Structure 1
Amino acid sequence: MLRKIARLLAVMLLFFACLIPHGHIRVAGKEDAMKERINEYLASEEQLQGAAVAIHIAEGQTGKTLYERSADQRMRPASNMKLLTAAAVLDGLGAEHRFETIIATDGRISAGQLHGNLYLIGKGDPSLTYMDIGQLAKQLRKAGIKKIHGDIIADDTYFDQERYSEDTTWKDESAYYGAAISALTAAPDTDHDTGTVKVVVDASSSSGKPNVSIIPATDYVTIHNHAVISQEGEAELEVVRTHGNNDIVISGTIAPGEKEQEWVAVWEPAEYVLHLFQENLEAAGIQVDGGSKTAKAPAKTTELLRKESAPLQQLLLPFMKLSNNGHAEMYVKHMGSKERAGNWEDGIEQIERYLDGLLPTGQMVIRDGSGLSHVNGITARQLTALLVHVQNEPWSHAFEHSLPVAGEPERMIGGTLRNRFADSELAGKIKAKTGTLTGVSSLSGYMETKSGERIVFSILLNGLLDEEEGPRIEERLLKIVYEELKNMHIN
């Protein structure tokens, strides 16, 4: 009798075991094999000798650790910092938030004459372009304004007047990724590199010197062209704005027939926009009797025009896909623009407030929104915890949609990952934020395994002798993870 009962129980256990969802079954030894392969690779990689490596790999839904190495060590995250900024600004402003630029007056309009000052008021639109400024001037002319008896005044006081986050180095000031931050700024194209001009150097000339043009075509900057066309040696062109002014010096050599372009940050972006606005008013046929300056608009004005940006969730694409530093810092200031002008201190406090309770913010160092600072300190575990958490936010789709997709050639899909993993099984299976600074490479995001499961990962490499080697190392690590997890169900 007891034997019959035992056999019956065995059959029942087998039956119920078959009912257990396949996703809860693990393949024995797979995690250990993955750990061994990762550790062996890290020990053998020459580029990592003397460098600091922090890795955390976890289940996508639960956050349960699959692999970790120095996961609680603070590291410089480079542009992985933008993951925190994107989450905080989506939470603070909402995915549908739109940014504004306003044209107003303190005077009156009569018979095509504006008697009073004209104010161009910036509210921190990170997507404003020089084409938008030209369109605003045309709209004024279309509204019937032919002459302005007053001054043209640019107001960028929605943000404070600190142009650079505290750890920006002087060498970054000329570069597009280190552009000055203002509530009134403009980009030369739809990549939206705010506060810059695009310098185009064309060596199709037979004169021995390349032709130089700038976009937008403005005399706000002065070009000093010392470059030459040369077939001898390796061509090396340098395009730099000198500190404290808008002199752009072009030097070095460029090969015959070549064309190169460089985005260069301007000095004082609000004055840059004011200058562009004046040029476009003139081009639109509007005469101005007065002068021009930057100042705060009076409390009482009459609004003439209002330009709204696309929704925040759409603007996150150039921000995250192309890793736009200017947008990051403007978002930080927006988060701080409540009771006083937008500033880094208040904005960073809002980022920490969003993260409080989710991550141990006391163990983090946040100095900016872009990751340009070498003082920022974030751990790999903190980044994966964020990635797990945001999946349950109402704006999670906007956040995830903004991440670069591995191996996707379209710039606004693949972004900074468009040329990575392109010829591997991982193409299209990784959505992640890249990061690069001198000596730093990072990659954090989501990966779909061969069995269709999701993992989150963060790889932070600091102290590299050559940060350009970082992507190769990150790709090798993720290929190991993908290969070892292909038969393991992790949910």
Structure 2
Amino acid sequence: MEIWKKLLISVVSIVTISGSVFISTSEDNTVEAATSYGSLKSAINNIMADSRMKSATTALTVRKASTGEIVYQYNGDKGITPASSLKLLTAAAALETLGEDYRFPTAVYTNGQVQNGTLNGNLYMRGKGDPTLLKSDFDNFANSLVKQGIKRISGNIVGDDSWYDSVRLSAGILAEDEPYYYAAPISALTVSPNSDFDAGSVIVQAIPSINGKATKVTLTPQTSVLQVVNKSRTVPKGYKNTLKITRQVGTNKVIISGNSPVGTYGTKEWISVTDPTLYVLDVFKKSLQAKGITFIPSSVVMKGKTPDNAKVLESKRSKPLKDIVIPFMKLSNNTHAEMLAKEMGKVKYGEGSWNAGLKVMREYANSIGLDSTKWKFEDASGMSYSNKITTRELSLLLYAVQSEPWYKTFSKSLPVAGISDRFVGGTLRNRLKTTGARGNITAKTGSLENIKSLAGYAKTKSGETLIFTVLTEKNKTSTIPALDRIATTIANHY
């Protein structure tokens, strides 16, 4: 590939042109500075001496975006848990494998006939991995069925999620995370509570009611799959808000506890469901009933496969991947990452599994010249603490994708420093707001307990673009202030 010929020439220049870049020592812990980057080297070294960074396990690589040359490196070959920075590979592999215009179809089928307003047969909803389905889509399906003359259904409502395998949680998901949206189970048929598209979760909100009474609880969307146990209490104004909302692990029992002072907004949590497919069917049935469609007493909601001879009653396709990648990367959506992994496996190998999807990701890494043996991951979102990558490899990925035809889409998906719009600034909307950094840094964040990362592009004051990747783990205190100082320093380099 031409990109690697270009990079090879750049590497040769490191050896032959004295002082052109920083060159790491054999231990990869210090660098030699050239005149043009001397001030940057000194400034970064000062930040690396920060107590937060010294107490953590830290790695950093900075490259020239134009040539791929490394201009600063510290522990560049050390494997560190990347957290959500791993999504950079997931997004790149998905755009390459599926394509920017890829759409996810969902359809409603029947194996019966409509006679005198009654559908004599089952109603099937078949999902093929759309991570952006909303209740409004089910309302539209229901409207269409009404227009087709369906007033009553004599069969069952069946959810077909067979497009993916039945493994719901990726490796490394901790029990303490399982009740929340960021660790929601993965299904080829799922629904989101709002346009953030946190698929497989329900927004549970508790607000104060009358003093001495339990709080008022709402679910969005309304669903019967969660059993709410409300142990909370409304207390007088001025008391501390101690409301807590969680789900009992392994069950659909949502526990609400604590005090909610009068005059406050209470609290809300995005709570995951244990079975996204049954969640979809419950919400869909409510949409049907709201449109006046009734069921015979023996009708049930169940999972199953759509018969080969079933006919389509209504269908929809998702937005293209180039649009879905925005909420995925801007908001660091874990469910999207894992669904994309399974989709890649399904499309390339006919198997909607993590094994197949992660294989596709490794193959993509190899295809652009990365060393996949340096990429150790067991999920696509970065949730696992067992994942390990190096800053050298991560920065090389960011260099290589610049030559891809879908790079503009990839670049647009990255959070932009200090921009308040959630679908522009994303996870960086409240960070890096200082002069020089704001708007000039586009990067993916990563965060797990005692792990922080930042990887992306910085436009410097001289107009040059530098690629930087910083990974830290075993943090005694948050390294985010130091990571932001490094990014700002790079952006302010002349």
Same fold (TM over 0.5): yes
Instruction: Tell which deviates more after alignment, 409-418 or 107-116.
Output: 107-116
Relative contact order, CA 8 A, sep 6+: which one is greater? 1
- Please state how far the C-alpha of 1:96 moved relative to its aligned partner: 0.5
Tell me, yes or no, if the aligned pair for 1:205 and 1:211 is still in contact at 8 Å: no
- Name 2:249's counterpart in structure 1: 243
- Name 1:301's counterpart in structure 2: 310
User: Given the alignment of the two structures, is residue 342 of structure 1 paired with residue 357 of structure 2, yes or no?
Assistant: no
State the structure with more CA Rg.
Answer: 1
Matching of residues 42-441 of structure 1 within 5 Å: 42-43=48-49, 45-203=50-208, 205-230=210-235, 234-259=240-265, 260-289=267-296, 290-338=299-347, 339-357=349-367, 358-441=369-452
Deviation track 1:221-245 (CA, whole Å, cap 9, x = no partner) reads: 1211222344677533321111222
* Structure 2 length-normalised TM: 0.89
User: Given the alignment of the two structures, is residue 39 of structure 1 paired with residue 45 of structure 2, yes or no?
Assistant: yes
Q: Deviating runs (4+, > 6 A) in structure 1?
A: 24-28
Tell me, yes or no, if the aligned pair for 1:54 and 1:460 is still in contact at 8 Å: yes
Distance 2:483 2:240 in 1: 30
* Structure 1 length-normalised TM: 0.90
- Name 1:13's counterpart in structure 2: none
SS of equivalent residue, structure 1 residue 391: helix
SS of equivalent residue, structure 1 residue 61: coil
Tell me, yes or no, if the aligned pair for 1:204 and 1:258 is still in contact at 8 Å: no
**1:47 corresponds to which letter in structure 2?**
R
- Please state how far the C-alpha of 1:479 moved relative to its aligned partner: 2.3
**1:247 corresponds to which letter in structure 2?**
K
- Please state how far the C-alpha of 1:478 moved relative to its aligned partner: 1.8
Q: Would the alpha carbon gap of residues 261 and 25 (structure 1) be closer, same or farther in structure 2, given more than 3 Å must change?
A: closer
User: Given the alignment of the two structures, is residue 460 of structure 1 paired with residue 460 of structure 2, yes or no?
Assistant: no
Tell me, yes or no, if the aligned pair for 1:204 and 1:257 is still in contact at 8 Å: no
For the aligned residues, what is the CA RMSD? 1.9
- Name 1:8's counterpart in structure 2: none
Instruction: Tell which deviates more after alignment, 254-263 or 375-384.
Output: 254-263
- Please state how far the C-alpha of 1:146 moved relative to its aligned partner: 1.0
- Please state how far the C-alpha of 1:362 moved relative to its aligned partner: 1.3
- Please state how far the C-alpha of 1:175 moved relative to its aligned partner: 0.8
Tell me, yes or no, if the aligned pair for 2:327 and 2:423 is still in contact at 8 Å: yes
Deviation track 1:372-424 (CA, whole Å, cap 9, x = no partner) reads: 01011111111111111111111111111111111111111111111111233
**1:429 corresponds to which letter in structure 2?**
N
Distance 1:223 1:257 in 2: 23
Tell me, yes or no, if the aligned pair for 2:239 and 2:261 is still in contact at 8 Å: no
Deviation track 1:219-272 (CA, whole Å, cap 9, x = no partner) reads: 221211222344677533321111222110011233432222210001111011
SS of equivalent residue, structure 2 residue 394: helix
- Please state how far the C-alpha of 1:207 moved relative to its aligned partner: 4.0
**1:172 corresponds to which letter in structure 2?**
D
Tell me, yes or no, if the aligned pair for 1:403 and 1:431 is still in contact at 8 Å: yes
**1:350 corresponds to which letter in structure 2?**
V
Q: Would the alpha carbon gap of residues 237 and 49 (structure 1) be closer, same or farther in structure 2, given more than 3 Å must change?
A: farther
Tell me, yes or no, if the aligned pair for 2:118 and 2:151 is still in contact at 8 Å: yes
Distance 1:331 1:61 in 2: 30
Instruction: Tell which deviates more after alignment, 31-40 or 366-375.
Output: 31-40
- Please state how far the C-alpha of 1:476 moved relative to its aligned partner: 1.0
**1:272 corresponds to which letter in structure 2?**
Y
Distance 1:422 1:373 in 2: 30
**Identity %, equivalent residues:** 38
Gapped runs of 5+ residues in structure 1? 1-23, 487-491
- Name 1:10's counterpart in structure 2: none
Q: Would the alpha carbon gap of residues 233 and 66 (structure 1) be closer, same or farther in structure 2, given more than 3 Å must change?
A: farther
- Please state how far the C-alpha of 1:204 moved relative to its aligned partner: 5.6
**1:263 corresponds to which letter in structure 2?**
W
Distance 1:205 1:56 in 2: 56
SS of equivalent residue, structure 1 residue 336: helix
- Please state how far the C-alpha of 1:453 moved relative to its aligned partner: 1.2
- Please state how far the C-alpha of 1:470 moved relative to its aligned partner: 2.5
**1:287 corresponds to which letter in structure 2?**
T
